[in-house]
Structure 1
Amino acid sequence: MAVAVRQARQTPVSRSKRKIPDYLICEVLDGKPLYYKGYEDVLAGKKTLEEIMGSSSLQASIVYYLTAFIAKFIDEDQYNVLVSEPGVHLDRRDNVSNDIAIFDQSVLPGTSISKKYADVPPKIVVEVDISIAISELTETGYIYKKTGKLLDFGVEKIIWVLTEAQVVMVATKERIETFSWDKDIELMDGQKFNIGTYLAKKGIIVE
């Protein structure tokens, strides 16, 4: 007797239910993973992880300028400067990264620098653009949430450079101000940078 076997219908797994690999996590806020911008292209096989993690040439130029600017005046006996997305562990629900982080040596001495994220607050944090994929949060919401968490952690000043708007946002416990990047802006200890002037000097045109 022939037995008819009904084949189970295969239901495609939706992208929202598919497990996203941990290596695509850029940061964690409120216990929720935030993924690198472009992570969906990696999942789809359209790009590699290296392709979405890289900075644009404009972002890299600005980070270089600010790093070189800091190096000209920083007292290395008093401060440790970390670059290349140093991670900061705020608490068990929050891990973030920064483009540049300046630590007081009394807070992060050389003996505490290791292969792990720093778990103490930098004095100054510099961010150039947003490297995460925005889903539930808007870009403004993400900036303000991350800024608030860093300030609550003990960071004295957070500087955001936003290339699309060509502005610099400076946040402290007292106030948040936004300036055109053509203005002279104090980073610390009376030392002022000017991104617009630097870009013009290098012949970099931002449209």
Structure 2
Amino acid sequence: MRTATADKKRIGRKGIPKELIYEMRYGKPIYYRDYDKVLSGEKTLEEIVGSSKLQWWIIDMIVRFLHQILDYKKYVVAYNEAGFQWASRTWRNLDVAIFEREKILKEGVNERYAKTPPEVVIEIDTKADLRKYGDFMNYAREKTQDLLDAGVKRVIWYTTFDKKVMVAERGERWFITSWDEEVEIIDGISFNLGAKLKEEGIG
């Protein structure tokens, strides 16, 4: 009869399936939150990779807003965990990313992750396992700095647990404020998440 300890050893020998890797940072995997519960059979893969209703609603609102106001001759919007790879064995998932259209077309539209840095990245919470980071902010700071170092001009991070927004821009002061404040996204276009949620009868 196989014991739980034996199962853990078996999993350790075989390694963790790549489907449970959320992001990769210089060869070191960042796993999905609760990946170990999938290994133990407590949860399914679908349960840990899915977004909450609030998360996907916010993403949908932001994308709809950008579709209405953005110059699509100049930009293109990627979402649904768009992959961005800027170094060997290094990639991050992006909730919403605004790319310069010409640069992406020059790179080529194919089945690979984008190597061209987005102009702007917008994140809502995270699906990453945070235990090795201690808390969300340590992870968010690391990912934000990685993106800025890779050439992203602005990173905007909304957090649903405290209704805040963090804005980081290369060469500028990072700041955190209420998500009820106007935040510039790109080219003078501002977005007020709190106001938009109230318009839709949420929050």
TM-score by length of 2: 0.90
**Distance change in 2, residues 1:203/1:110 (3 Å):** farther
C-alpha RMSD of the superposition: 1.9
Residues 1-207 of structure 1 correspond to what in structure 2 (within 5 A)? 12=6, 14=8, 17=12, 19-109=15-105, 112-138=108-134, 139-173=136-170, 174-205=172-203
Q: Within 1, Cα distance between the matches of 2:69 and 2:201? A: 25
Question: What is the identity percentage for the equivalent residue pairs of Structure 1 and Structure 2?
Answer: 38
Q: Please give the secondary structure, in 2, of the residue aligned with 1:121.
A: coil
Conserved? CA contact 2:26–2:87, under 8 Å: no
CA distance in 1, matches of 2:197, 2:69: 20
Which string of whole-angstrom CA distances, capped at 9 and with x for unpartnered residues, describes residues 88-122 of structure 1? 00201421010011111232117712111001100
Deviates further, 103-112 or 136-145: 103-112
| 5+ residue gaps, structure 2 | none
Question: In structure 1, how many angstroms separate the alpha carbons of the residues matched to 2:29 and 2:107?
Answer: 30
Shift of 1:30: 3.0
State the 1:76 CA deviation.
1.2
Q: Rg bigger for which structure? A: 1
Q: Name the CA distance, whole Å, in 2 between partners of 1:72 and 1:64.
A: 12
- Report the structure, 1 or 2, having the larger helix content: 2
The unaligned stretches of length 5 or more in structure 1 are: 1-10
Equivalent residue of 1:192, what SS? strand
1:112-158 deviation digits (Å, cap 9, x = unpaired): 12111001100000100011011221321111111111101110000
Secondary structure of the corresponding residue to residue 165 of structure 1: coil
- 1:114 & 1:51 partners in 2: Cα distance? 29
